[in-house]
Structure 1
């Protein structure tokens, strides 16, 4: 075991803890925690146009050992499973935003190929780094987003009257997919920033960002299925680095709650919620960095 793996194993719960999963109380608590994570992901996804990975990944990092995930593989399984849940959360949120005519499908179609390529590349990068390194990338990424949400709602300066085309579009979209795959997120915050900076109304940017989540999550999930295929010591129900039981439980609740977040986004000024979410991200980011 290399130094990074030893560091990860030192801080993560022992796999031996999975012996308690058969206990009804332990299993019930795990399922309840997964449902709670799904509710938080669904609400955040609808409200901010994000895929919910900032909620799902940290929850899975602490819950997956209870499902038998080797501590060395926790970060990879957390990111892969998070991406799988984002597929359905994103579709549900997009449908709700589309009902309010707040989704620019032309943007989704034109950006999709480049975003997908970036996501696939991000999955390949994840395959080349250790679980501890992947967790650290997530921690610093979350910390950066926490700063964004904790700032007063930014008055984004418009830098263009339309979204970029050609090589700039390919570069931005590819980078969006790469970062999102490494963090296990839907890329909603970055998509919203780019669209508003290029003149899109905020609600239309959020609705379109929700759709971008599925474009990122589908190839990302396939990538983590592929790079984790054949890995030893994965728990029951895992296909590659995607744990299907955890994904199903989280998705069930997030799909139910996502429309509530969408309704809140269209009815309220979410300044307070931005700060609450920012504080949550700050705690998660610092905790992940300290843990690994």
Structure 2
């Protein structure tokens, strides 16, 4: 039954990864949080396991999504070269900070962040990029990459929830923002997974079938299915209008963010 659940999460998350360029983390984290809770794991490590496992699965999802978007010419490789290295460094450092935070803090931080991103994306869905908007210089892109990488570890995502709005803000059309974000998700996921594995081992996490803050069976089940479904999501992304894609993306983040805020608030009251 657990394997079926993990495969189902992978199918849904993979499609979302290809469609929205989010690496699937915004889907995987809340679903794993629910599953690990039902499995009776310690509340002190459930959120950390969800974040770490999410980043590990995004390694596979990003490869599949990246391949599909590259075929459609939607990856801006010069931007990727500027963003990827600082993203990886920032993500590894962020994993260490996340390990020091308790579960409730992580829930509230993730929830508020996703709701905010959803609001800004939905608000700007009807707006077209101005003709004079261009990407900032390489130095500013590197700085932005560091921040995105650090935040991605805290939120357990491939960075798409931040990278897509960032690129879109500077005039990059939605499809290319999603494609480039998918590429950037790979270095983020690798660095983040290694970080959660390392820092989790340092804290001697005693949860069955885990290495540090990564659940092995969840990683395998989600990765296998998401690798295939991500490609279908990417094809769907190129069939939608930029405004429709942005609105769908915003609604998804709003629902998941609200869930985490509610869960964190209820935990504080308990």
Matched position secondary structure for 1:200? coil
Q: Among 24, 35, 45, which residue is 1:63 paired with?
A: 35
Equivalent in the alignment of 1:282: 254
- Residue 137 of structure 2 corresponds to 164
The answer for the alignment partner of 2:150 in structure 1 is 178
Task: Give SS of 1:235's match.
Answer: coil
Deviation at 1:196, TM superposition (A): 3.3
Count how many residue pairs are aligned between Structure 1 and Structure 2: 263
CA contact (8 A) 1:192 1:205 kept: yes
Q: Indicate conservation of the 8 Å contact 2:174/2:246, yes or no.
A: no
Contact 2:204 2:212 in 1 (8 A): no
Q: CA deviation at 1:197?
A: 3.4
1:110 aligns to what?
82
1:264 and 2:236 aligned: yes
Contact 2:237/2:245 (8 A) holds in 1: no
TM-score (norm 1): 0.82
SS at 2:185 equivalent: helix
Partner deviation per Cα, 1:179-206 (whole Å, 9 max, x = no partner): 1110011112322233333343432222
Corresponding residue for 1:220?
Answer: 192
**Which residues of structure 1 form unaligned runs of 5+?**
1-27
Q: Tell me whether 1:197 sits opposite 2:188 in the alignment.
A: no
Q: Distance in 2 between matches of 1:223 and 1:285?
A: 24
Match of 2:14 among 25, 35, 42: 42
| 1:16-73 C-alpha deviation (Å, 9 max, x unpaired) | xxxxxxxxxxxx1x33332232122111111111111110000011101344521110
- Work out whether residues 23 and 157 of structure 2, in 8 Å CA contact, stay in contact via their aligned partners in 1: yes
Moved beyond 6 Å, runs of 4+: none
TM-score by length of 2: 0.88
| Contact persistence 1:237–1:244 (CA under 8 A) | yes
Pick the aligned partner of 1:121 from 93, 96, 99: 93
